[in-house]
Amino acid sequence: MISKLIDSIVDKKAPVVVGLDPNMKFIPEYIRKEAFGKHGETLEGAAEAVFEFNKGIIEAISDLVPAIKPQIAMYEQFGIPGLEAYIKTIELCHEKGLIVIGDVKRGDIGSTSESYAIAHLGEIEVGGNKIRPFDEDFATVNPYLGSDGVKPFIEVCNKMDKGIFVLVKTSNPSSGEFQGKVSDGKAIYEHVAEKVHEWGETSMDGSYSNVGAVVGATYPAEGETARRLMPHTYILVPGYGAQGGKADDLKPFFNSDGLGAIVNSSRGIIAAYTKEPYKERFDERHYADASREAVIDMCLDINRAIGG
Amino acid sequence: MISKLIDSIVDKKAPVVVGLDPNMKFIPEYIRKEAFGKHGETLEGAAEAVFEFNKGIIEAISDLVPAIKPQIAMYEQFGIPGLEAYIKTIELCHEKGLIVIGDVKRGDIGSTSESYAIAHLGEIEVGGNKIRPFDEDFATVNPYLGSDGVKPFIEVCNKMDKGIFVLVKTSNPSSGEFQGKVSDGKAIYEHVAEKVHEWGETSMDGSYSNVGAVVGATYPAEGETARRLMPHTYILVPGYGAQGGKADDLKPFFNSDGLGAIVNSSRGIIAAYTKEPYKERFDERHYADASREAVIDMCLDINRAIGG
């Protein structure tokens, strides 16, 4: 699956993924009104508003980016209807030829991790039928439980040609509390990075592995270390834009082949119509056009910084 | 919420929680046949089999135990119908006066963690309505992202009188890979335990905190350390029974007041009818009676070991 993602990144000249984390406050009033008019102020109404909002953005940017990263928490908070909107979003992305990175941060042990892997990347056998419950292409995975938690995901990846991104160094201010503790001369995130590299060797797909890593744009020095420890690992880089990561900080995340990283922006793209410099030119009815402009600007910004 | 759990543990003389992790292979054939007969070999059929199986066990043991711990991965693998069965299971537990520990192991940062907390423990505001999407009483939480990931859960706990159990030392063989790395003379799980103690002080409910911890029965020495580092923390102890933890290993997890820990068993209870010594006496039509016997035996075993 990673080779498919790389082909699309190269083809679209866009090492960029758009995070669909639709907070109700970003959704234009006319969309909310229509959805609540149809379903009342219910979970169904909220879920329909979320999906309609996503649909506008997906249709506006599908030719520009290789991948979309829906954050499942933002759907889970609307219960079953929210998760139905999550699945509809994945289906629409696939119709439009987009790769879907499910930001689910799941992780457990043994057969439980296998169940999560089946839910998001695999097929569940029900009697004689095989059914794909959520059908993302990649999922994010939490490594705190060690190899027992991660290997069941890799087995499903190898069977289904899918991929994962394992949390290594997250973009948030307190990520150092445990990830930064130093043991045997190396921070915990470095120990995790070494394991990601080792796990990745069991799932190579061309020059890179289907086992990727998450390292936040807000930590460029750690990005450089992670890049060195995991030469064949694709790095999913959150934290650009709204969280404070700058394009010039991104260079260390990439390899000299110009590949090796894909940068996420969520609010900076999906709420562009509420922010400078777009809000003067786009009203809420044109929120998706603002997102398109913001994607174009983000690609230019990143390609300039990495010399692409 | 922890005081409510403690009252029920004392009342029922059962520091025990039953894990509802229904694997299809544990579900008696007659239940599967009936569900598939109604819905075909579909996710709906599988989900109905899961719920009917759960219902039998919940009704057979609700007077014996304070709490039930459904493992959401086992439901998520059956997609939307599976998650509907998860919610129905929670609702039935609440009707029977049981406390529900959602074993969801969620964890993210900031507003995303808040969304998970709202989904599982809180209320989502939709227009003028407040709706509880999943409505567990406790949720398990992964600490890898640090305070940014955990504090939003505690805020929701304080608002809603709910609780969490933070992963400290998990029961699986590879849990030492990262949790056991030593930094500043202490293992990572000890650093996490210290933080759990600190976080817990912001959510006290009687003598214990609504912020609990998970420490596996398979690691009694680490259980003793965790107990010492977190005197006011309730410890959820998985790994008893099928995973190899013995009752005699459980004593260090308890405080001298006889409280402080609640021990989980999943397969050992829900699949008791397939295992010694129950399988001679109970056929699949009486799987729930076997579970009841296994719960009684487990309570005796644990109370003997801890001198309760």
How confident is the model at residue B244, as a pLDDT? 76
Tell me the residue range of the domain where A200 lies. 2-306
Residue in chain B nearest A119 by alpha carbon: B77
Tell whether B186 is covered by a domain.
Answer: yes
Which of the four pLDDT bands, split at 50, 70 and 90, describes residue B308?
low
Which of the four pLDDT bands, split at 50, 70 and 90, describes residue A307?
confident
* Per-residue pLDDT tens digits for A6-63: 999 999 999 999 999 999 999 999 999 999 999 999 999 999 999 999 999 999 999 9
CA distance B54 to chain A (A): 17
Tell whether B107 is covered by a domain.
Answer: yes
Measured distance CA(A236)–CA(A263) in Å, rounded: 6
Q: Which residues contact B228 (CB under 8 A, 6 or more apart)?
A: none
Please tell me if residue A258 touches chain B, with a CB cutoff of 8 Å: no
Annotated catalytic residue within B4, B12, B55, B105 = B105
Tell whether B91 is covered by a domain.
Answer: yes
Tell whether B100 is covered by a domain.
Answer: yes
Annotated catalytic residue within A105, A151, A186, A279 = A105
How confident is the model at residue A214, as a pLDDT? 98
Are the C-beta atoms of B222 and B186 separated by less than 8 Å?
no
Q: What is the CATH number of the domain that holds B182?
A: 3.20.20.70
Whether residue B69 lies in the annotated active site: no
* Per-residue pLDDT tens digits for A225-263: 999 999 999 999 998 987 777 888 999 999 998 999 999
Tell whether B128 is covered by a domain.
Answer: yes
- Interchain CB distance below 8 Å, A80 and B87: yes
Say whether pTM exceeds 0.90. Answer: yes
pLDDT at A308 over 70: no
Nearest Cα residue to A28 out of A39, A19, A40, A36: A36
Please tell me if residue A208 touches chain B, with a CB cutoff of 8 Å: no
* Alpha-helical runs (H) found in chain B: 2-12, 29-39, 43-61, 73-76, 79-95, 110-121, 147-160, 176-179, 188-200, 220-229, 267-270, 287-306
Which of B34, B50, B77, B154 best tests the A interface by mutation, with the highest count of A CBs <10 A?
Answer: B77
Residue in chain B nearest A193 by alpha carbon: B178
Its ipTM equals 0.97
Please tell me if residue B176 touches chain A, with a CB cutoff of 8 Å: yes
CB pairs under 8 A between A and B: 206
* Per-residue pLDDT tens digits for A66-108: 999 999 999 999 999 999 999 999 999 999 999 999 999 999 9
* Per-residue pLDDT tens digits for B18-56: 999 999 999 999 999 999 999 999 999 999 999 999 999
**Percent residues over pLDDT 90 in chain B:** 94
Which of A144, A182, A183 best tests the B interface by mutation, with the highest count of B CBs <10 A?
Answer: A144
Measured distance CA(B291)–CA(B304) in Å, rounded: 20
Tell whether B172 is covered by a domain.
Answer: yes
How confident is the model at residue A241, as a pLDDT? 82
Which of the four pLDDT bands, split at 50, 70 and 90, describes residue B92?
very high
Tell whether B307 is covered by a domain.
Answer: no
Tell whether B137 is covered by a domain.
Answer: yes
Domain count, chain B: 1
pLDDT at A151 over 80: yes
